[in-house]
Amino acid sequence: MSQQPETERALLLRDYELRLLRCTFTSPPSDAPSQPQPSDQTSSLHDLLYSIESGDYLRALSSDAARPLLKLADDHSPDSADRVYSELLDRVDSFLVHESEDDEDKAFRVILVMCVAVAAFLAFTQCNMTGPLKEMPKCPLALKVDKGDEELVEWENWARNQLMAAGSDLLGKFSNLQYLVFAKMLLMRTRDLLFGGSVSSMYGISSISWWLARFIFIQQRILDERSSSLFDLLHVYMGETQHHFDTLEKVTSYFGSSLHDGDALAIISMVHLEAGIMEYTYGRVDSCRQHFESAEVAAGLQLSVTGVLGFRTVHQVQPKAQGILVANTSSSNCGNNCPLESSSIQTHNSSIGKDNLDLHQPETFEASDILMTPKLLADNDEGSRLQDIQNGGPATAPLRGIQQAVILAQCLLIEKSTPHGEMQGWDMAPYIEAIDSQQFSYFIIRRFSDILRIRWESTRSRTKERALLMMDKLVQSVSEPSPGVAQRIPLCFGVYTPTIPALRKEYGELLVRCHLISEAVKIFEDLELWDNLIFCYRLLEKKAAAVELIKKRLSEMPNDPRLWCSLGDVTNNDACYEKAIEVSNDKSARAKRSLARSAYNRGDYETSKILWESAMALNSLYPDGWFALGAAALKARDIQKALDGFTRAVQLDPDNGEAWNNIACLHMINKRSKEAFIAFKEALKFKRNSWQLWENYGHVALDVGNIGQALEAIQKVLDMTSNKRIDTELLKRIMVEVERRASTNHSGSPVMTNDDNCTDKNRQADSQIDHLNESIYAVSVESWSRKIEHFDLLGKVLQRVVRNDGRADIWGLYARWHKIKGDLTMCSEALLKQVRSYQGSDLWKDKDRFKSFAQASLDLCKVYMEISSSTGSRRELLAAEMHLKNIIKQAESFSDTEEFRDLQACLDEVKMKLQSGSVPT
| pLDDT at residue 340 tops 50 | no
Please compute the mean of the pLDDT values over residues 202-209 and round it to a whole number.
82
- Measured CA to CA, the distance from residue 146 to residue 101 in angstroms comes to 35
pTM of this structure: 0.78
At residue 402, the pLDDT reads 96
φ/ψ of residue 370, rounded to 5: -85, 125
Please compute the mean of the pLDDT values over residues 277-293 and round it to a whole number.
94
Per-residue model confidence as pLDDT tens digits over 576-614 = 999 999 998 898 999 999 999 999 999 999 999 999 999
Within 8 A by CB and 6+ apart from 232, the residues are none
DSSP readout, 571-633?
A: HT-HHHHHHHHHHTTS--HHHHHHHHHHHHHTT-HHHHHHHHHHHHHH----HHHHHHHHHHH
φ/ψ of residue 636, rounded to 5: -85, 5
At residue 777, the pLDDT reads 44
- C-alpha closest to that of 289 among 269, 272, 305: 272
Per-residue model confidence as pLDDT tens digits over 228-238 = 999 999 999 99
- Measured CA to CA, the distance from residue 641 to residue 625 in angstroms comes to 13
Please compute the mean of the pLDDT values over residues 98-110 and round it to a whole number.
81
Rounded to 10 deg, the angle between the 81-93 and 149-164 helix axes is 70
| pLDDT at residue 398 tops 80 | yes
What is the residue type of 350? S
Give the model's confidence band at 222: pLDDT under 50 very low, under 70 low, under 90 confident, else very high.
Answer: very high
Within 8 A by CB and 6+ apart from 529, the residues are 172, 173, 505, 508
- Measured CA to CA, the distance from residue 410 to residue 304 in angstroms comes to 11
Please compute the mean of the pLDDT values over residues 660-687 and round it to a whole number.
91
At residue 41, the pLDDT reads 66
- C-alpha closest to that of 531 among 767, 224, 189, 908: 224
- C-alpha closest to that of 815 among 828, 801, 802, 799: 828
Please compute the mean of the pLDDT values over residues 390-398 and round it to a whole number.
49
Q: Of residues 864 and 450, which shows the higher confidence score? A: 450
Beta bridge partners of 306: 324
At residue 234, the pLDDT reads 96
What is the residue type of 237? Y
Please compute the mean of the pLDDT values over residues 849-871 and round it to a whole number.
88
Beta bridge partners of 389: 326
- Measured CA to CA, the distance from residue 467 to residue 450 in angstroms comes to 9
What is the residue type of 176? N
On whether the CB atoms of residues 282 and 226 are closer than 8 A, the answer is yes
| pLDDT at residue 403 tops 50 | yes
Beta bridge partners of 369: none
Burial of 168 by CB count in 10 Å (0-12 exposed, 13-18 middle, 19+ buried)?
buried
Per-residue model confidence as pLDDT tens digits over 743-759 = 776 544 443 334 444 44
| pLDDT at residue 499 tops 50 | yes
Per-residue model confidence as pLDDT tens digits over 367-376 = 678 888 888 8
Give the model's confidence band at 44: pLDDT under 50 very low, under 70 low, under 90 confident, else very high.
Answer: confident
- Report the mean per-residue pLDDT for the chain: 84
- C-alpha closest to that of 129 among 172, 70, 75: 172
Please compute the mean of the pLDDT values over residues 792-802 and round it to a whole number.
86
Q: Where are the beta strands (DSSP E) in 742-799?
A: none
| pLDDT at residue 432 tops 90 | yes
What is the residue type of 602? R
Per-residue model confidence as pLDDT tens digits over 612-621 = 999 999 889 8
At residue 39, the pLDDT reads 58
| DSSP 8-state class, residue 259 | P
Q: What is the number of other CB atoms lying within 10 angstroms of the CB of residue 463? A: 21
Q: What is the number of other CB atoms lying within 10 angstroms of the CB of residue 260? A: 14
- Measured CA to CA, the distance from residue 167 to residue 180 in angstroms comes to 17
User: How many degrees, rounded to 5, is the angle at CA 66 between CA 173 and CA 33?
Assistant: 100
Please compute the mean of the pLDDT values over residues 776-802 and round it to a whole number.
72
Per-residue model confidence as pLDDT tens digits over 245-278 = 999 999 999 998 889 988 999 999 999 999 999 9
- Measured CA to CA, the distance from residue 870 to residue 529 in angstroms comes to 84
Give the model's confidence band at 143: pLDDT under 50 very low, under 70 low, under 90 confident, else very high.
Answer: low
At residue 800, the pLDDT reads 86
- Measured CA to CA, the distance from residue 300 to residue 436 in angstroms comes to 20
At residue 111, the pLDDT reads 93
- Measured CA to CA, the distance from residue 699 to residue 706 in angstroms comes to 10
At residue 592, the pLDDT reads 95
| pLDDT at residue 644 tops 70 | yes
| pLDDT at residue 919 tops 50 | no
Q: Of residues 914 and 292, which shows the higher confidence score? A: 292
466-483: b (≥16 Cβ within 10 Å) or e: bbbbbbebbbebbeeeeb
Within 8 A by CB and 6+ apart from 495, the residues are 273, 277, 405, 408, 409, 444, 445, 448
* Rounded alpha-carbon distances, angstroms, from residue 785 to 86, 360, 707: 77, 63, 13
| pLDDT at residue 714 tops 80 | yes
Query: How many CA atoms lie within 13 Å of 662's alpha carbon, on the beta-carbon side?
Result: 26
At residue 320, the pLDDT reads 92
* Segment among 13-17, 308-312, 334-338 with least mean pLDDT: 334-338
| pLDDT at residue 31 tops 80 | no
289-310: b (≥16 Cβ within 10 Å) or e: bebbbbbbbbbbbebeeeebeb
Per-residue model confidence as pLDDT tens digits over 677-705 = 999 999 998 888 889 999 999 999 999 98
At residue 803, the pLDDT reads 84
